[in-house]
Chains A and B, each alone.
Chain A
């Protein structure tokens, strides 16, 4: 408790000066549609642009305005920022950041590479860091603070503040270490965006496949000094949970809410990584993020709910204290990380005005919650193929798991078959958009199922700690692996759905032009009518798209940008096709291998009207 108190006092003291102005300035910039100042466009995660120069009637004539090669081959997630007349572009490992002058034909004003002499700032070699990155070298982008700082969360977990004008380091701190340690900090990596709130920047961590105990850590934006850290599991003080004030399903969580749900010390290597896209409500002063899977993937060795993995966290960003928690997948048996984006929308739910939080989880359920109280309002499947649970009990908030698809019920060394969705989830990190015009959510999804066989593995610090073997294939009755859907978060229903041959792994963006942009793994940048899903524009970019769309205006003209660069988890299974394309010869499309369609390469493509 004393450590907790100290943290609280320290954070309050540090966060106070200049607190209001920085926040207000950033929120004002978010409202200016000519700029794209945060990865999600705004704190609410709408990924919506008020620009309407490009619209339903003219998007068909969209042309490429300019392109930019990042010089890096591997998977490119996230997207660029535009602050004033400067665009900031990041890359996969080594995590280069470029500043491009939009006034001068995108001249490179500065280029920053955190890897010097083969080493990251934390002292680890780039090779070592790559070797503990689960699922490719991705990074989900930089963010901006209005004191003129670009923040990078590098793969070795270093948090790096750069002068936005010069690219010079203001401060560098290594959040965790990707080196081998006894417990908890071994093999941590950084892939999630750094998240700016007031005069602070917060980062999560990756590495649940390596037995890491992950956490959210908040830093002072001016000095890089650590303010607080909240672990995803463990003692209440570690998690910054107040047993009597922190609630779940509207009730206090009570003492040791996490410790009680793990056998022995298993929480020390419990996973719960945080690497998606986050939300912040400045009026409620609440930060929202989700935690990932408990480790290992073999559920048999960790009976219990494994709290607070797979959980939506609502926290006070000043001191980290949890306001409410909601665990979507207690006792995960399928790797359904709860990290996906938090979209904050003020909307009517069942006839009542709500400050809602909408979350499309890996587990295949779309949740609508009251973001002030943590009350669960809607939980429905957003892919009809989802079968591991029949429904979510609205009283307890618990999914009703079907024994036949329970890998724990079936047991170790048993192959549990035809589970939908696959470990990729009905949606992975690729963020959805909220269309303010129609009130619908534009959601990129996977349509993939799996067989899953858990078995016993040893924990070896710094090594992969998985403990399950799985095979993935298209959902039954179809040959396509993805859908792009429109979702009604009040009714909990799909409004329209466009099948895609591959998982849709790019972030969507809706605009005031009545159109929504998304990208495909073959590399197509597409625009559809937000109301009907009708395709209005398609252009094949140089590589498969796993990045997120953004828009800005420069000298009176609207531009739309997207990073291509195939890879990520999508690049694992789909490169060679998920299953034998010839099983049963002819039943499945013959061309389901991604490498027949596209190749590696980080390239930014920017579109405009002619």
Chain B
């Protein structure tokens, strides 16, 4: 039943020649660094040309704001207010740089089995989004991933962060993982989505 409806909507969308104003995907960008030489993310805003036929909206929504703040970072009271008043809600569309996308992917392969989906934490490992918000620096982020962290280094009793320095699926991607978690901590990207990404940046030979 739903499929039929969706298909119908899709046909209508096609025949009307896209109701949603859309822009083509921007070009690749270089991996970014902030003024302190820490890795950071790049976002290009704009509605993409791939349309979800069931909602007639572009597929590259990267954040929902409630009264100007990321929905997963506001209080329950604020959320209720936003549920009641649609004018407080803003949907943002855009693309992340390829490095940040790679960080998202590596995170959800290697880190999320303990640190939870979307850097939100689990019953036994802290939320890295919160850790960054509370001031975890890139240098510390890097050191803990490379060397691990046990009770002796200040982890909660019974919790152990393994050392990933020798893991070729993790060690080369720490900068990208940091870019991803930073974007989550800054409220730039929402939960539960595959990041819409800019094309891969190729270094000039």
Contact = CB atoms under 8 A, between A and B. Distances in A.
A373 interface: no
Given A127-B160, A463-B164, A585-B82, A415 B190 contact: no
A583 B162 contact: no
A556 interface: no
Given A137-B124, A573-B117, A600-B123, A460 B191 contact: no
Given A73-B158, A572-B116, A585-B66, A471 B105 contact: no
Interface in B113-169: 113-114, 116-118, 120-124, 127, 148, 150-151, 158-164, 166-169
B89 interface: yes
Contact of A136 (B76, B106, B124, B190): B124
A575 B169 contact: no
B116 A573 contact: yes
Interface string B48-65: 000000000000000010
A572 B122 contact: yes
User: Size band of the A side of the interface?
Assistant: 35 or more
Contacts of B162: 131-132
Interface string B63-102: 0101000011000100110110000010000000000000
Contact of A576 (B83, B121, B124): B121
Given A457-B169, A585-B79, A585-B89, A136 B123 contact: yes
A469 B192 contact: no
B5 interface: no
Contacts of B104: 469
A451 to B, nearest CB: 6
Interface centre among B64, B72, B160, B161 (most CB of A within 10 A): B160
Contacts, number: 143
A198 interface: no
Nearest to B72: A580
A74 interface: yes
A580 B71 contact: yes
B109 A467 contact: yes
Given A471-B192, A471-B193, A74 B158 contact: yes
Interface string A456-479: 011010011111111111000000
B83 A586 contact: yes
Contacts of A471: 108, 117-118, 192-194
Contacts of B118: 471, 576, 580
Contacts of B188: none
A75 B158 CA distance: 12
A582 B79 contact: yes
Interface in A488-534: none
B64 A585 contact: yes
The 10 A-B residue pairs with the shortest CB-CB distance, nearest first, are A571-B123, A576-B120, A131-B162, A469-B108, A580-B191, A579-B192, A582-B71, A130-B160, A572-B122, A586-B83
Interface of A: 72-75, 93, 127, 130-132, 134-137, 209, 297, 415, 451, 453, 455, 457-458, 460, 463-473, 566-567, 571-573, 575-583, 585-586, 590, 594-595, 600
Given A74-B158, A573-B116, A590-B80, 17 more contacts: A130-B159, A132-B162, A135-B113, A460-B169, A465-B169, A467-B109, A469-B107, A471-B194, A472-B117, A473-B192, A572-B122, A575-B122, A576-B118, A576-B122, A580-B192, A582-B64, A585-B83
Interface of B: 64, 66, 71-72, 76, 79-80, 82-83, 89, 104-110, 112-114, 116-118, 120-124, 127, 148, 150-151, 158-164, 166-170, 190-194
